């Protein structure tokens, strides 16, 4: 079984979603484990459960601290615990933009409405008030704008004619407890999913000038130049030739650089079969905390190494400004 993704759950209250995540993480097949439960409220009920279940906890009151300082303290505890993803479960603090940006793509939240409807407060009452037939819950990525990040999963809940905000909230929570653990599991598993990784890579590779996709020896690759005489600047390798890596293969300046990279950072680079012999390095994609800017840099560099002069000249000229 692959290593489990390490998540920290941030709570402020009862923590029933936290409990659902905690017990889901106890299933052998769970792709995530909880390494920390952190809260801004010392009396949050969820903390007692976390302690009972032997999960490390961290409390830091937000009172008397700036938003940035409070976030930084929470972040330090999360990092110390080895956190890869932060999962908000009834965490009643708006996070600072800087913090959200540092964890871009790695903070999830659950909101009790069918987003984009009813962002912010009182979503249940607002859904009843509007006469909606259904309410529900949404799991989304956290971005600086409140409740506006990409929606990852949703569950619908019918509204009864005599529902109050409270009765509806109770049923929506039942749905939340099913939804959240699954959405988190699917999301953290994406990092090992070749289709997702390839999709991300393809969009970066094809964003470079005059590129197209072409298969080579059974693996997808990307070329620059015309369909007829273009040259490969990148390949996607999905556990080829007995390797456990899903990787991007790109051109280095030669064997010296390749071997140096592999020796200095063996968790990022490896020497791939066949291609390695001609100076192509494998950049591992199925690893935690992958930095896509770094992948983009490698693609750009490899593109430049093989692109025709008429294209690189244009870019060189643009770089001078």
Q: Which of 5, 36, 41, 89 binds ligand GRF (CB under 6 A)?
A: 89
* Distance in Å, CB of 147 to ligand GRF, minimum: 9
Q: Which of 14, 167, 200, 286 binds ligand GRF (CB under 6 A)?
A: 14
* Distance in Å, CB of 42 to ligand GRF, minimum: 15
* Distance in Å, CB of 108 to ligand GRF, minimum: 11
* Distance in Å, CB of 89 to ligand GRF, minimum: 5
Please say if 111 is a catalytic residue.
yes
Q: Nearer Cβ to ligand GRF, position 15 or 276?
A: 15
> What are the strands of the beta sheet with 107-111, ordered from one edge?
57-59, 32-39, 5-11, 85-88, 107-111, 134-141, 151-158
Cβ 225 vs Cβ 176: under 8 Å: no
Q: Nearer Cβ to ligand GRF, position 106 or 173?
A: 173
Q: Looking at 111, 124, 177, 245, which residue is catalytic?
A: 111
CA distance 61 to 31: 31
Question: For residues 176-205, which are near ligand GRF according to CB under 6 A?
Answer: 176
Residue range at the interface with ligand GRF (CB under 6 A); choices 8-16, 76-84, 143-151, 206-214:
8-16
Establish if 17 lies at the interface with ligand GRF (CB under 6 A).
yes
* Distance in Å, CB of 164 to ligand GRF, minimum: 15
Q: Nearer Cβ to ligand GRF, position 10 or 99?
A: 10
Establish if 15 lies at the interface with ligand GRF (CB under 6 A).
yes
* Distance in Å, CB of 12 to ligand GRF, minimum: 7
CA distance 316 to 58: 50
Q: Nearer Cβ to ligand GRF, position 145 or 297?
A: 145
In the bound state, the residue with its beta carbon closest to ligand GRF is 90
CA distance 319 to 321: 5
Q: Which of 31, 90, 191, 300 binds ligand GRF (CB under 6 A)?
A: 90
Question: For residues 109-168, which are near ligand GRF according to CB under 6 A?
Answer: 110-112, 137
Establish if 39 lies at the interface with ligand GRF (CB under 6 A).
no
Q: Which residues bind ligand GRF (CB under 6 A)?
A: 11, 13-18, 89-90, 110-112, 137, 173, 176
Q: Which residues are catalytic?
A: 111
């Amino acid at each position: 079984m692959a290593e489990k993704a390490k998540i920290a759950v941030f709570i402020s209250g009862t923590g029933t979603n936290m409990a659902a995540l905690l017990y889901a993480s106890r299933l052998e097949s769970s792709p995530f484990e909880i390494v920390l439960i952190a809260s801004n409220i010392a009396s949050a009920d969820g903390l007692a459960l976390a302690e009972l279940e032997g999960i490390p906890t961290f409390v830091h009151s937000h009172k008397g601290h700036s938003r940035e300082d409070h976030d930084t303290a929470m972040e330090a505890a999360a990092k110390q615990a080895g956190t890869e993803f932060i999962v908000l479960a009834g965490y009643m603090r708006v996070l600072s933009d800087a913090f959200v940006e540092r964890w871009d793509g790695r903070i999830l939240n659950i909101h009790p409405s069918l987003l984009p409807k009813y962002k912010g407060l009182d979503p249940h009452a607002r859904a009843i008030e509007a006469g909606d037939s259904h309410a529900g819950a949404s799991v989304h990525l956290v971005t600086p704008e409140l409740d506006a990040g990409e929606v990852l999963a949703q569950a619908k809940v019918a509204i009864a004619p005599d529902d109050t905000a409270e009765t509806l909230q109770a049923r929506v929570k039942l749905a939340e407890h099913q939804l959240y653990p699954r959405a988190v599991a699917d999301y953290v598993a994406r990092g090992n999913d070749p289709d997702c990784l390839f999709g991300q890579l393809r969009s970066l590779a094809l964003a470079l000038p005059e590129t197209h996709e072409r298969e080579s020896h059974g693996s997808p690759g990307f070329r620059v130049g015309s369909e007829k005489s273009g040259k490969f600047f990148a390949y996607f390798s999905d556990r080829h030739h007995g390797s456990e890596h899903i990787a991007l293969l790109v051109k280095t300046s030669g064997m010296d650089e390749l071997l140096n990279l592999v020796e200095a950072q063996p968790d990022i680079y490896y020497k791939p079969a066949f291609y390695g012999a001609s100076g192509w390095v494998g950049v591992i994609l199925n690893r935690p905390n992958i930095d896509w800017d770094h992948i983009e840099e490698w693609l750009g560099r490899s593109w430049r190494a093989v692109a025709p002069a008429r294209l690189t000249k244009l870019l060189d000229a643009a770089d001078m400004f």
